Copies of this chain bind each other. A is one copy, B any other.
Amino acid sequence: MNEFELIESLTRELPGNATVVTGAGDDCAVLDLGLPDRWVLFKTDAVVEGVHYGPGTPPEKIGRKALARCLSDVAAMGGEPSSAVVTLALPRDYSPVLVAGVMAGLNRLAREHGMAVVGGETTTNPERMLISVALLGTVEKSRCVRRSGAQPGDALFVTGELGGSGAGKHLDFEPRLAEARWLTEHFAIHAMLDLSDGLAGDLRHLLRASNVGAELLSDAIPISRAAYEQAKHGVAASGANGAGVAPSAGAALAQSGRTPLTAALTDGEDFELLFTVASKDAVPLLDAWKGRFAPLRLSCVGRITAKPGLTIRDHAGFRPLELHGYTHFA
């Protein structure tokens, strides 16, 4: 049973109540707690030593990453982060200096976004450090974007560049909060999510939630320099940053022989936004984006189709895309 099968089986019968607008299955849960014009966003995410970062990682970057992952999910809903609680599960021989560094990195990122850190707990995890962050945010009801709103004919966009995140970006990425707020202020964003498991995998989540299909344009997919470098040198990113273990989902898959396009489609931890807008908005959006966020790339990578399934167009024509994103427990 892989991660997605497990999650599907576990989320089939979760208890609900009257506060739930959107439960499990989107980037954040959406709750109506009675605020007049806003919903509350609720999210949790964890990073684990040796799984999401290597032993040589600077502690500030570990803490930063732990929070940034949650912030990326709040961005994907069009929301604003408000506060977080932090669970530090520590081995018995933990270093207080390292733990202080983790919290310093997390706190700094929280301050940058006007967030509060309102507590948490410490507990024991004998073999390795695990940091779990739970985050609250809010979003105007009229600006909340879910995965389920994609329409046939929509243009499909991604921010930034994809692939090779394990070479470093997975520790340094900027959650696209400002970009997402700008998008929902100026355009009708139909559906959005953040790319954590790779475009080929995450796009399928959006398609399933919206009950549509998509055609990707091979030449339009923005491939990162790191993905090109890894393909050229055939080295795993774990070597590139000297961590000694796979520092990320992406790096775990980085192998010689993969093309840069494959890396861009399947590497995890890009933490870019994937979203759809009506086709009439595509050109105005690209124009306005350049004036506001250049040099951050915005790429139209394909379109939404009524017919289910995911296809890709390259020099040989359209064909079904067989690749999937990163899978835990595969």
| A3 vs B121: C-alpha distance when bound (angstroms) | 10
Q: How many copies does the complex hold?
A: 2
Binary CB contact string for chain A from 30 to 59 against chain B (1 if under 8 A, 0 otherwise): 010111101010111110101110000000
For A6, A15, A42, A100, the residue with the greatest tally of chain B CB atoms inside 10 Å of its CB is A15
With contact pairs A82-B33, A119-B24, A132-B87 given, residues A114 and B50 touching in the complex (Cβ less than 8 Å): no
Pick the residue among B46, B50, B88, B124 that contacts A48 (CB under 8 A).
B124
Pick the residue among B11, B26, B119, B329 that contacts A124 (CB under 8 A).
B329
Give the nearest-CB partner of A11 in chain B: B119
Q: Is the CB of B48 within 8 A of A40?
A: no
Number of residues in A with C-beta < 8 Å to the partner? 75
Q: Is the CB of A83 within 8 A of B17?
A: yes
Q: Is the CB of B114 within 8 A of A17?
A: yes
Name which of A89-97, A178-186, A216-224, A308-316 contacts chain B. A89-97
Q: Is the CB of B23 within 8 A of A116?
A: yes
Q: Is the CB of A123 within 8 A of B46?
A: yes
Within 122-165 of A, Cβ neighbours of B (below 8 Å) are at 122-128, 130, 132, 134, 136, 138
Q: Is A294 an interface residue (CB 8 A)?
A: no
Determine how close the nearest CB of chain B comes to the CB of A133; give it in whole angstroms: 9
Q: Which residues of B contact A111 (CB under 8 A)?
A: 15
Q: Which residues of B contact A233 (CB under 8 A)?
A: none
| A96 vs B7: C-alpha distance when bound (angstroms) | 10
Give the nearest-CB partner of A27 in chain B: B119
Query: A-side interface residues toward B, CB under 8 Å?
Result: 1, 3, 6-7, 9-11, 13-17, 19-20, 23-26, 28-29, 31, 33-36, 38, 40, 42-46, 48, 50-52, 82-83, 85-90, 92, 94, 96, 99-100, 103, 107, 110-111, 114-128, 130, 132, 134, 136, 138, 328-329
